Amino acid sequence: MKKKLLGTLLSAAMVMSLLAGCGSTATQVQDAAADAAATVEDAAADTADAAADTAAEVVEDVEAAADAVEEAAGDASGNISVGFAQVGHESDWRTASTKSCQDVFSAANGYDLSFVDCDNDEAAQKEAVRSFIEQDVDYIIIDPIIATGWDTVLTECEDAGIPVIVIDRTIDDSDKYVSWVGSDFLTEGKAAGEWLKAYAEKQGVSEINYLIIQGTTGSSAQIGRTDGFREIAKREGWTELDAQTGDFTEAGGQEVMESFCKSYSGKFNVVVCENDNEAFGAMTAMDNAGVTYGPGNDVILISYDACTAGLEKVKAGGITADFECNPLAAPTVEGVIKTLESGGTPEAEILVPDNWYALKDQIVDFSVDGNAQSMIEVTDDVIAAQY
Q: Per-residue pLDDT tens for 290-319?
A: 999 999 999 999 999 999 999 999 999 999
Measure the CA–CA gap between 360 and 377, rounded to whole angstroms: 5
pLDDT at 61 over 70: no
pTM, whole model, 2 decimals?
0.78
**Range 268-275 average pLDDT:** 98
Residue 131's φ and ψ, nearest 5 degrees, are -65, -35
**Range 256-269 average pLDDT:** 98
Grouping H, G, I as helix, E, B as strand and the rest as coil, residue 161 is: coil
pLDDT in tens, 180-212: 999 999 999 999 999 999 999 999 999 999 999
User: What confidence score (pLDDT) does residue 228 get?
Assistant: 98
pLDDT at 1 over 50: no
User: What confidence score (pLDDT) does residue 38 get?
Assistant: 52
Measure the CA–CA gap between 110 and 132, rounded to whole angstroms: 18
pLDDT > 90: percent of the chain: 80
**pLDDT band of 43, cuts 50, 70, 90:** very low
Helix, strand, coil share of the chain (percent; to 5): 55, 20, 30
Mean pLDDT, rounded, of the chain? 87
Grouping H, G, I as helix, E, B as strand and the rest as coil, residue 239 is: strand
pLDDT in tens, 67-89: 443 444 444 568 999 999 999 99
**Range 248-274 average pLDDT:** 98
User: What confidence score (pLDDT) does residue 268 get?
Assistant: 98
Interior/surface letters 24-36, b for 16+ CB within 10 angstroms, e for the rest:
beeeeeeebeeeb
User: What confidence score (pLDDT) does residue 81 get?
Assistant: 98
User: What confidence score (pLDDT) does residue 48 get?
Assistant: 47
